[in-house]
Chain A
Amino acid sequence: MRKLPPKETNQGGHGGVAGEEPILSAEGVSLRFGGVKALTDVSFNVRKGEVFSIIGPNGAGKTSMVNCVSGRYRPTEGRILFDGQDITKLGPNRRAGLGIGRTFQNLALFGHMSVLDNIMVGRHHLLKAGFLRGMVYWWGGAQREELAHRAEVEEIIDFLEIQHVRKAQAGTLPYGLRKRVELARAVALKPKLILLDEPMAGMNLEEKEDMARFILDLNQEWGMTVLMIEHDMGVVMDISHRVMVLDFGRKIAEGLPEEVMAHPQVRRAYLGVDDEAVNPAEIDA
């Protein structure tokens, strides 16, 4: 893994973009499907400008948590605040306009559209021309709007280095590129907060390094707050300002990466209880 510049301070992190002010707050979020408790009383804050990672074993409720934030699920209890506004009951399509973008764990591109059109869909809430103005393209401003946004989308394409596939059909691309196109589509929303669900799953080392670079650039240069789920501990430790650990739908730890890794309950969740490795007394403390 590429060595990043050392983190001088805690929440300052790389470049010191993260402030103290929360952009996203989850307050006592619980999610139940019948008798199954996916999340139990999870509270956390994501601060403006930070890279916040959620980790945890499989089935811990990480994706459920992200789905609550993006509106796919509605929490059974608790509430979620974004930029000071209660979004707990807001429909998913309304959240794009507020500034929440996301990528998916299992690729969710529009397979039959070109890469360019996929990214232009991300501009949906920023474009104004409805179907009538679209039909008369040249009159009424649809064309002007399209071309202006096309120019901005091209910047995203340049940034994510996918110029060579911009006209390709998204469904035909190899996995690593599709992940990148999905990121481009989420960036096109101009989100304040971008949710990344396992952005590096299934990638080789080189692709992971590229993706880590993109995430850092988005955070530092584009000023986006990143909420990320990731299994690759090396990446999580390297690029996150803070980390939250979920296990069986409960929050078991939150803090700086190194603090979290040293946390006994986290080690138990990941490694299982081992008398030699972890002192049980330490866990209960």
Chain B
Amino acid sequence: MTNIPIHRGRVVQYGTTAFERYDRGKTDSCGDTEWTKYKGVGPVTVRGIIGDTLLTLDGVYTHVYGYRLTWSQYVGAEQVVLVGDFTFLARTGWLMYSAGTYLLLNNGDGELKHTDILDLERPVSVDLDIGLKPSLNKEEHIHLSASHLSPCVSGDLPADTVYEEWSDDKYSAFLESQPKLHVCQGAVRVSSKEHGVTERWLFPHPEGARAAWEHLQNTTREDDWTRLQTMLNDAHPIEKERVLVSFTK
């Protein structure tokens, strides 16, 4: 029997097909080369507790190494993070182009393409600030390290898998490690200057993340508050505190 941790009934499964991309960049005036090396794995699947596929991505960069002239190295990484009932691609690192958290807008059963998430028009993602600050791990791929924020597995799920929901302590520790993340059960507080969204709440929608995002755009903060009031009694104490704190602003 193999216990696999899950959060709100979900786990991130990283495939074992490794790939690399090498961006050779430009040569500077000193003749040095600026380059970035991306190492990734795929596919990445978000699975539910009955093993069902909730979302699939063709791959993510789990280890990024860059070099600028002779003095500034940097590392970065991406990971798939489960927040509330939503799935985000978190891209972080020094000088990383388009670092941020991207809400993944799953459409039907199709596989999402990583390039489409980061595309300027973002057909399958929305760049949203949710206060999440993933840490980096220079030494290894992020999905193999303790730096990965959500429950995840690498490779196939064992045949004797038993899913085990995060304990209260585990969830509390996760929230405390992310002091600016405001979650209330399945809902997540989001902000985005680009989309003119400040201190709003993204609620789970039966038709998926895209519908949830559209619902947010068609409602107001007062609607959020009305709905949150009905959820606070059953919320985790830290969640409740953060919801109320967000409405003192």
Q: Are these two chains actual partners, yes or no?
A: no
**Residue ranges of B at the interface with A (Cβ–Cβ < 8 Å):** none
